[in-house]
């Protein structure tokens, strides 16, 4: 959002962006058909064009590096991210009780072991973890969110629990982790 405000605060940058947009409009469709024939999704831009355009809009160098590593995709830096990943973890427990978190995160077994071995000590030292469900419910209430994530018994509940979107996310994470594990095993 800050980037949008910055771009709108200097409308002359939009004029400097016009050559980049025109280049994109003139070349992208032909390049897409050449590079990804049969792809029906014709949205996006070349990395170089995208980086140049965003750099002009923000008046600062800009680059991205896209990846599909499930360990990085599943970062939790906001309440919504936590809730999405917790719903996914609960789904994984139901879909594959034996592997559970290991099915959707490359470090799933280590995370599970930390929960079993490390969390009891943290619960004694940090009030936040003594009653994590109550703590998170209080945050959700203070932000006047539509629901709280835990019921009265401390069980996680989610409005997304049985949606096709969650099942699709599970399949994506599970496939990525399976491929990572296979690649790791072949290196041994």
Model-level pTM? 0.60
Indicate the DSSP class of residue 136. H
Q: How many domains does the chain have?
A: 2
Question: How is residue 108 written in tokens?
Answer: 């799933």
Neighbouring residues of 156: CB distance < 8 A, sequence distance ≥ 6 = 86, 87, 90, 133, 149, 150
Q: What is the CA radius of gyration of the chain?
A: 22
Q: What is the DSSP letter of 150?
A: B
The residue assigned the tokens 């609960």 is 90
pLDDT above 60 for 188: no
Residue 58 in tokens: 């923000």
**Domain region containing 30:** 2-58
The residue among 168, 184, 171, 170 whose CA lies nearest residue 107 is 184
Q: Are residues 38 and 79 in the same domain?
A: no
pLDDT for res 9? 76
Whether residue 50 is found in the same domain as residue 75? no
Residue reference for tokens 């990395």 = 47
Statement to judge: residues 74 and 140 lie in one domain: yes
What tens digit of pLDDT does each residue of 83-124 get?
Answer: 888 999 999 999 999 888 889 988 888 988 998 999 999 999
The CA–CA distances, whole Å, from 36 to 40, 48, 167 equal 9, 17, 27
Cα first-last separation, the chain? 45
Of 18, 35, 58, the last residue of a domain is 58
């Amino acid at each position: 959002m800050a980037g949008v405000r910055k771009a709108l605060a200097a409308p002359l940058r939009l004029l400097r962006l016009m050559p980049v947009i025109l280049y994109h409009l003139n070349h992208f469709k032909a390049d897409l058909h050449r590079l990804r024939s049969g792809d029906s999704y014709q949205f996006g831009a070349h990395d170089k064009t995208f980086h140049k355009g965003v750099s002009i809009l923000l008046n600062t160098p800009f680059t991205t590096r896209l990846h599909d590593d499930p360990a990085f995709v599943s970062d939790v830096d906001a309440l919504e991210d936590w809730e999405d990943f917790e719903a996914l973890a609960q789904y994984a427990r139901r879909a594959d009780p034996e592997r559970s978190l290991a099915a959707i995160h490359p470090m799933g077994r280590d995370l599970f072991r930390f929960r079993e071995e490390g969390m009891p000590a943290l619960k004694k030292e940090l009030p936040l973890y003594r009653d994590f469900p109550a703590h998170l419910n209080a945050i959700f209430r203070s932000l006047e969110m539509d629901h709280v994530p835990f019921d009265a018994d401390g069980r996680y509940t989610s409005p997304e629990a049985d949606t096709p979107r969650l099942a699709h996310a599970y399949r994506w994470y599970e496939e990525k982790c399976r491929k990572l594990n296979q690649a790791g095993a072949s290196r041994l």
